[in-house]
Amino acid sequence: MRVSPNIRPNWHRRRLCSSCCCGLTLLGLTDSLAFAFPVSEPSPQIPGERVKGCGFSESDHAIDSRDYVLSCGVPVFDEGVQIEQTLLNRVFRVSPEFRFFNDIFAPTAKTERLQKRASRILFGVHLVRHEITLNPKFWESSLIGILAHEWAHAYQFRSGLQELKFIQELHADFLSGWYLGLKGQVINSEAFSETLFEKGQKNTGFFDPDAYGSPEQRVNAMLNGLENGERTARSRDFIDVDTAANKGYHFVAEIARGAR
């Protein structure tokens, strides 16, 4: 897949527009046209298993389909996430289900593993508002970064990656940074860095296999991915998520060994 200079969408500007992402034409939405995701029967989970998956922040609360909602309550994000979803599917070569849900216990995004290496991404409505409060000026950048983190988990599930939580989470941080790097200067990486730092696990040992990584480790992994994505965009080379994933895996392995 060859990089297009217009890989970044202008959905946050809330105007009718078309842009090209790697040969894919996208259509934005006008202010008067907004539609939410339909609620349909979810895909079956793996029989006999509790919901398993990876999330952007620590939360073990089981999510029920009754928690699903049509809208996050922020119209511009309701609209924009549909455009971003198309971009993410194309870059990560996955097509996970996407649902908003009522994350009443803590701001949360989570990716569930389904049958046949499929996945479902659950995005909390309180997480959306939390990020708007945390980054009033650049909240779109932090939310796109979180979306990319979850799509990275969907890619991991499709690829059959079975690793310690520490490895999977930092690997997803790397790939989310890589995705943002492909998008170029329209993204404010500092806003996403702040979000990652806030959600890194504090007061843990340098390597805790059950942790999400320390604030510094999460930001470090994301920034390294960002540099790789920016390098790919500048060189106008082919976008290859498998190559990026391998680079990210080796980088995170060095963190686990204490080399970084």
Per DSSP, the residues of 37-63 read PP--PPPPBPTT----EEESS---PPP
pLDDT at residue 240, rounded to an integer: 94
Q: Which of 7-16, 22-31, 146-155, 181-190 is the least confident region?
A: 22-31
Strand-strand pairing, 109-113 and 53-55: antiparallel
Highest mean pLDDT among 34-48, 79-93, 194-208: 79-93
pLDDT at residue 14, rounded to an integer: 33
Each residue's pLDDT tens digit, 163-188: 888 899 999 999 999 999 999 877 89
Each residue's pLDDT tens digit, 123-161: 999 999 999 998 899 999 999 999 999 999 999 999 998
For the chain, the residue count is 260
CA 113 → CA 81, 116, 162, 185, 203, distances in Å?
21, 9, 12, 33, 29
Domain positions in the chain are: 11-257
pLDDT at residue 65, rounded to an integer: 81
Per DSSP, the residues of 148-189 read HHHHHHHHHHHHT----HHHHHHHHHHHHHHHHHHHGGGS-H
Whether the pLDDT of residue 204 is over 60: the answer is no
Residue 231 structure tokens: 């390098």
What DSSP element (H or E) covers 26? strand 24-27
**Amino acid, res. 86:** T
Highest mean pLDDT among 4-18, 36-50, 113-127, 188-202: 113-127
Mean pLDDT of 7-36: 30
